[in-house]
């Protein structure tokens, strides 16, 4: 059934359409400016902003669910909840836990058919990380990578592993980075030096996991992982923009250095997102949520409770970027990295009908997924 969103401020790939309309079924059929005269069922945007649906490539959970629960019921809770924040596609992200538990989670995700936000694949965060930079991961499950083990995990995931967070300096890391062309290897939870990270990029490393967290910092004599992330144009860089994980100025610096095409907003959210303050869980460890912070008992940050629409608001506040360009760090750059930009990540005729309608306060008024799953506030 054809539908149309009318009276919208539409951010397309190449321009902003004021007082525009967009006609769609499961895909975008037409985009225009001015009064809509078609016969489709209409949704009045009342002049609010229409953006492509957000894509979160690093998220453990939210709304009471976690990818490591390894149940379809939990995944359904998460995929439905994400529509409330404008996220239409995502990569459920696993934790550094036992291989049997990780395998169960991979199999559950791979066999789940979402009726909410679309699962584009899986982000494997660990267990191939540094025991010296575990963050909120459990160090007893840290192991070294091998091609055999990654093949086993990929088989359990039905070839749906798209990103693996890895410490490129650990034994075996460079071997697997060079071996798998179909996986995005991302440096994170790492003690890699500036030179080690750049060398890993030359071997096939493509991405940086949650910049500024659980990696070697920048100093003027040892630029570290952060310096390599800033300066290496072949590395895309994700960042948790909740005002807790990184200072606003640090976000601004990263964006200025990475540019519009290589910067990606993520949430790294955990189970407690959307549930308010209280005690929650991440990777088998208790997490205490207070306001916009989620921490282990010892004070270590344990993911976030950030929503993508809030991440966009913070990003624009911290960088001063306009919406004309800001939407790209929420969807387009992710789609390009995952090689799905032919069908999602921007508003263009022929692409999938994935939208989010925001007001000036960045509140989600409506989310459309594949044209038929419509969340209205």
Taking all residues of the chain, what is their mean pLDDT, rounded to a whole number? 96
Q: What percent of the chain has pLDDT over 90?
A: 93
> Are the C-beta atoms of residues 344 and 90 closer than 8 Å to each other?
no
293, 302 in Cβ contact below 8 A? no
CA distance readout (Å), 130 to 126, 137, 164, 279, 358: 9, 10, 14, 27, 40
What Cα–Cα distance (Å) separates residue 210 from each residue in 33, 231, 239, 274, 281? 39, 16, 5, 21, 20
- The 10s digit of each residue's pLDDT in 2-39 is 999 999 999 999 999 999 999 999 999 999 999 999 99
**pLDDT at res. 75:** 98
Per-residue pLDDT tens over the stretch 137-184: 889 999 999 999 999 999 999 999 999 999 999 999 999 999 999 999
Rounded (5°) CA angle 183-213-322: 85
Categorize the per-residue pLDDT at 375 as very low, low, confident or very high, splitting at 50, 70 and 90. confident
pLDDT tens column, 284-312: 889 999 999 999 989 998 889 999 999 99
**Whether pTM exceeds 0.75:** yes
Q: What is the pLDDT of residues 82-129, one digit of tens each?
A: 999 999 999 999 999 999 999 999 999 999 999 999 999 999 998 999
Q: Is 175 known to be catalytic?
A: no
Q: Is 149 left (phi over 0), alpha (psi -120 to 50) or beta?
A: alpha
Cα–Cα distances in Å, from 41 out to 1, 23, 88?
8, 9, 22
Out of 56, 66, 69, 268, pick the active-site residue.
Answer: 268
Is the pLDDT confidence value at 376 over 90? no
Q: What is the DSSP secondary-structure string of 304-367? A: B---HHHHHHHHHHHH---HHHHGGGGTHHHHHHTT-TTTSSS--TTSB--EEEE-TT--EEEE
DSSP 262-286: SEEEE--B-TTTTT-SEEEEETTEE
Strand partners, 140: none
- The Cα angle at residue 159 between residues 153 and 162, in degrees rounded to 5: 90
Q: Structural domains in the chain?
A: 3-50+346-376 (2.30.40.10), 54-337 (3.20.20.140)
Distances (CA, A) of 38 to 2, 19, 45, 323: 10, 15, 16, 28
**CA 163 – CA 160 distance, rounded (Å):** 9
Tokens read off for 340:
């799905």
Question: Three-state SS string across 105-162, please?
Answer: HHHHHHCCCCCCCEECCEEEECCCCCCCCCCCCCHHHCCCCCHHHHHHHHHHCCCCEE
Strands (E), 16-73: 16-24, 28-33, 41-44, 49-52, 54-59, 61-62, 65-66
- Can you state the angle between helices 194-203 and 224-231, rounded to 10 degrees? 50
Residue 311 near residue 362 (C-beta atoms within 8 A):
no
Name the 3-class secondary structure at 14. coil
Q: 3-state DSSP call for residue 55? A: strand
What is the C-alpha separation between 161 and 152, in angstroms, rounded? 11
Helix axes 248-258, 308-319, angle to 10 degrees: 80
Q: What is the mean pLDDT of residues 323-349?
A: 98
């Amino acid at each position: 059934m054809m539908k149309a969103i009318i009276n919208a401020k539409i951010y397309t790939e190449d321009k902003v359409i004021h007082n525009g309309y967009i006609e769609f079924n499961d895909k975008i059929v037409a985009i225009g400016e001015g009064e809509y005269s078609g016969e489709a069922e209409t949704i009045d945007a009342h002049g609010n902003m229409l953006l492509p649906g957000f894509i979160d490539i690093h998220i453990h959970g939210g709304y009471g669910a976690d990818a490591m629960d390894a149940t379809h019921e939990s995944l359904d809770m998460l995929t439905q909840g994400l529509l409330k924040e404008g996220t239409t596609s995502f990569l459920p992200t696993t934790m550094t836990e036992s291989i049997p538990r990780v395998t169960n989670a991979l199999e559950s995700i791979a066999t789940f058919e979402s009726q909410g936000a679309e699962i584009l694949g899986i982000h494997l965060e660990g267990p191939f990380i540094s025991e010296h930079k575990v963050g909120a991961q459990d160090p007893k499950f840290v192991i070294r990578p091998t091609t055999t083990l990654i093949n086993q995990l990929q088989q359990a995931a039905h070839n749906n592993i798209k990103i693996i967070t890895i410490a490129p300096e650990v034994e075996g890391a460079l071997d697997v980075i060079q071996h798998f062309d179909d996986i995005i290897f991302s440096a994170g939870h790492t003690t890699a030096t500036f030179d080690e990270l750049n060398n890993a990029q030359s071997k096939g490393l493509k991405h940086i996991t949650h910049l500024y967290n659980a990696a070697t910092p920048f100093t003027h004599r040892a630029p570290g992982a952060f310096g390599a992330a800033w300066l290496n144009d072949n590395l895309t860089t994700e960042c948790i923009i909740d005002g807790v994980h990184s200072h606003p100025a640090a976000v601004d610096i990263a964006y200025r250095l990475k540019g519009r095409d290589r910067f990606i907003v993520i949430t790294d959210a955990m189970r407690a997102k959307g549930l308010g303050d209280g005690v929650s869980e991440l990777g088998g460890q208790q997490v205490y949520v207070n306001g916009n912070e989620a921490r282990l008992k010892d004070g270590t940050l344990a993911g976030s409770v950030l929503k993508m629409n809030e991440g966009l608001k913070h990003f624009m506040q911290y960088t001063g970027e306009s919406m004309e360009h800001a939407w790209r760090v929420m969807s387009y750059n992710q789609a390009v990295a995952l090689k799905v930009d032919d069908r999602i990540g921007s508003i263009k005729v022929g692409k999938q009908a994935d939208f989010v309608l925001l007001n000036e306060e960045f509140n989600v008024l409506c989310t459309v997924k594949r044209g038929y799953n419509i969340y209205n506030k």
